[in-house]
Amino acid sequence: MGRLFVVSLEGKIYSCKHCGTHLALSQDVVSRSFQCRHGKAYLFNKVVNVTSGANEDRHMMTGVHTVADIFCVCCGSIVGWKYETAHDKSQKYKEGKSVLERFKISGPDGSSYWTSRETRAPSDTEDV
């Protein structure tokens, strides 16, 4: 495998919620209005300490995009995806940028984001 070198960031940092590895700076957020199947997600100009999976075409709300999942280099958790190619001209601004899913990261203030399913207790009618 080899030696793992992790980049340390300074400032307001988003990090992996599982292991605390630095992923991105608050100043690199392009948009906070993205959606994923687990809730909100943020688009970043630059992320660090991630590895990319295989490219695949996905049908998303804004059309077909070629994307690659991105994983934390320390713990291997999937933290989001990277836009490789946008097939629609209006979406070209996303190419080369990465999306981090909010519930998979810790915010700059150290807070973790959770989906509503994770924070509520099951009702009496739900299977436990």
% of residues, the chain, pLDDT over 90 = 70
**For 87-97, what is each residue's pLDDT tens digit?**
999 999 999 99
Write 18-22 long-range contacts (CB < 8 A, 24+): 18/72, 18/75, 18/77, 19/72, 19/74, 19/75, 19/77, 20/106, 21/49, 21/72, 21/73, 21/74, 21/75, 22/48, 22/49
The whole-number pLDDT of residue 39 equals: 87
Domains of the chain: 13-109 (2.170.150.20)
**For 19-39, what is each residue's pLDDT tens digit?**
999 999 999 999 998 888 878
The whole-number pLDDT of residue 113 equals: 63
